[in-house]
Amino acid sequence: MSAREEILGRVRRALADVPAAEKPGDVPVVRDYLRVHDELTPGQAARLLAENLAEYRAVVHRTDTAGIPGRVAASLAARGSRRVVVPAGLPEEWLSAAGPEVERVPDAPDLGPRELDAVDTVVTGCAVAVAETGTLVLDAGPAQGSRRITLVPDHHICVVRAPDQVVCSVGQALERLDPARPLTWISGPSATSDIELSRVEGVHGPRLLEVVLATDR
């Protein structure tokens, strides 16, 4: 008997009390929890997202679409960033205000962890952001690149377009996301509380997360 058959057989014997005719869907699951916790206008949702991100020590900048290039350039300058990883599909204008001294390193399959370790900053967009929890979700789609590029560099600038990319709740985010894609949910910078429960930011992921929240309308 294979290990698979052995385990499945044990499961079936263990469930001898479950009537043979019962289907999984027959076991009731009441979903009367809230779809969203507060009905928010798009403006309120963007504000809540900004607040929650900031509470988790992300640096949040509010601007509009026209303000993105200037804001990104200012953040790079403030950090003294000379080398920036750029994922495929990142709108060109986002980096248009960064000077020629800033080297653009394209995300590519042969971009290894060691090369990534030598860059200063990564600039990306996101797939969706969750206001209630202060979470950015990246799905490796356009303007986001492979998972490693937002992990190894020490500084991540993430542009969120409001209201299009902002939802209120975790449930609304899941609905929009494709489980077949690899997802990274980010709520604030890397952090640990393992030493006497003191929170320390920046263990292995980026130590600084800057969010450019661009709202039009």
Q: Could you say which residues in the range 107-166 bind other proteins, by CB under 8 A?
A: 109, 113-114, 117, 130, 132-135, 140, 146-148, 151
Q: Which residues contact 82 (CB under 8 A, 6 or more apart)?
A: 101, 102, 103, 120
* Contact yes or no for 208/189 (Cβ under 8 A): yes
Q: How far is CA 39 from CA 34, 62, 114, 132, in A?
A: 10, 22, 45, 11
Site map 187..206 versus other proteins, x via CB under 8 A:
xxxxxxxxxxxx-x-xxxxx
Residue of the chain from 20, 34, 80, 99 that contacts other proteins (CB under 8 A): 34
Q: Which helix (H) or strand (E) holds 12?
A: helix 3-14
Q: Name which position in 20, 21, 30, 100 contacts other proteins (CB under 8 A).
A: 30
What's the CA gap between 217 and 210, in Å, rounded?
23
How large is the greatest C-alpha to C-alpha distance in the chain, in angstroms? Answer: 71
Please tell me whether residue 95 binds other proteins under the rule CB under 8 A: no
Contact status: 29 vs other proteins (CB under 8 A): yes
d(CA 124, CA 111): 16
Measured from the CB of residue 160, what is the shortest distance to other proteins in angstroms?
A: 15
Between 83 and 147, name the residue whose CB sits nearer to other proteins.
147
Q: Is 215 in the site for other proteins (CB under 8 A)?
A: no
Q: Which is closer to other proteins, CB of 29 or CB of 92?
A: 29
Total of residues contacting other proteins (CB under 8 A): 75
CB of 210 to other proteins, least distance (A): 15
Residue 33 binds other proteins (CB under 8 A):
yes
**Nearer residue to other proteins within complex by CB, 41 or 198:** 198
176 is a site residue for other proteins (CB under 8 A) = no
DSSP states along 138-176: E-S-TTT--GGGGTSSSEEEEEEEETTTEESSHHHHHHH
Instruction: Work out which of 78, 186, 213, 214 binds other proteins, going by CB under 8 A.
Output: 186
Q: Which of residues 7-26 bind other proteins (CB under 8 A)?
A: 7-18, 22-24
